Structure 1
Amino acid sequence: MRARYRAAGLAEADLDEDPIEQFGRWFGQAAESGLHEANAMVLSTADEQGRPSSRTVLLKQYGGDGFVFFTNYGSRKGRELAANPYVSLLFPWHPVARQVIVEGRAERVGRAETTAYFRTRPHGSQLGCWASEQSSTVASRQQLDELYAELAARYPEGEDVPVPPQWGGVRVVPHAVEFWQGRENRLHDRLRYRRTAGGWNVERLCP
């Protein structure tokens, strides 16, 4: 299989000085294009021995201080982040022939920020945080459903669900952000911001 890419590309003059502002521009365009879950990103981590793993998570917040997602800290990714905080995020916006790759260091967000976000989640998703010990083994789907039903009875709709202590936010503070634009003849545009003591420098990479 071979996809055809467009002639229009990405020039240095088109970039915002700040990679977060540039990300916001592309993120908005991806969402407006009708792309399903433009906030879906592939998070790659590695354990203390350097063995990698990847999975899709959802971006929930972003700004000058980084990119935030939420997870069970006891999950595989949570354990790997505790052992090795250096990660990569990939936004695979294939329908618009674009990708954004973020490299950075992960840190936990404060409990107040976690609680504020948790309160915005649908009731069922709040219960799901308690029902699932993410990445651990479970005997059957029935066991998982029964645990969820018990929690639903304990915390009916309209009643506050406490924030699980093992669940919270992770912020990825970027040190590099690459914007990839598909081009004809596989001569794609790749422009990467690198953080320096004086701010951000932009470099062009060969495709």
Structure 2
Amino acid sequence: MDLSDFRREYSAKGLRREDLNADPIQQFEAWFQQAMALQVHEPNAMSLATVDARGMPLLRTVLLKYFDLSGFVFFTNYESRKAHQIAENPQVSLMFPWITLERQVIIQGRAEKIGAAESLRYFSSRPRDSQIGAWVSQQSSVISSRKLLMQKLDELKRKFSDGEIPLPSFWGGFRVVPETVEFWQGGPARLHDRFLYQKQATGWEIERLSP
């Protein structure tokens, strides 16, 4: 299938240097609030790129659960493929593809495990079925059929039928501490606006990038 003529023109909204916040987290929050207000589907869905020991990159979608000035937090099984790759190389990249807004945000930084207390706080807020789901799945491992997965789900529902569901020792969060953050706004004639924040000893440096 030839897609060479498959294109659309971007609007002339533009992004100006004087409109940017000095801190990329605060700028991200402003864009995130706009994405929610304009009902972007799952605005917290982000692509997470990791690299394995061979240098082979792997990309998947995860959900941002909260962020603050210290970084961006998501949760996973610590025995998953992504977690093993982070253990080998904690340098990762995140990307938010807000296509309907003609925007994307790309974050590069270091992924670090958060503390058990912080993971428990989020785990306790999850729906009960999601808590049990964390116990069911040995994420990224090979399974022979979905039937076995559902059998294990039923078994764990019976096991945890009474009382609170404990936090699995193999499940928790990662915080991506940003080193660079790029804000991309689509523009006409493919002259997009791109601004890159880079962490320096004295604060954040902002540069405009050529499209």
TM-score, normalization: structure 1?
0.98
- 1:59 equivalent to 2:56? Answer no
- 1:169 equivalent to 2:151? Answer no
CA positional deviation for 1:102: 0.3
2-side partners of 1:183 and 1:54: how far apart?
27
Partner of 1:204: 208
Q: How does 1:1-207 map to 2 (within 5 A)?
A: 1-156=6-161, 159-207=163-211
2-side partners of 1:3 and 1:117: how far apart?
41
For structure 1, list consecutive stretches of 5 or more residues without a partner in the other structure: none
1-side partners of 2:13 and 2:122: how far apart?
39
Cα-to-partner distance string for 1:44-97 (whole Å, 9 max, x where unaligned): 000122110000000001011000000001111000000000000000000110
What percent identity do the matched residue pairs reach?
A: 52
2-side partners of 1:93 and 1:8: how far apart?
15
Report the secondary structure of 1:119's partner residue: helix
1-side partners of 2:154 and 2:114: how far apart?
30
1-side partners of 2:72 and 2:55: how far apart?
23
Moved over 3 A (4+): none
CA positional deviation for 1:8: 1.5
1-side partners of 2:13 and 2:125: how far apart?
40
CA positional deviation for 1:155: 1.2
For structure 2, list consecutive stretches of 5 or more residues without a partner in the other structure: 1-5
Cα-to-partner distance string for 1:117-157 (whole Å, 9 max, x where unaligned): 0000000000000100110011100000110111111112x
1-side partners of 2:165 and 2:30: how far apart?
35
Amino acid of the structure 2 residue aligned with 1:58: L
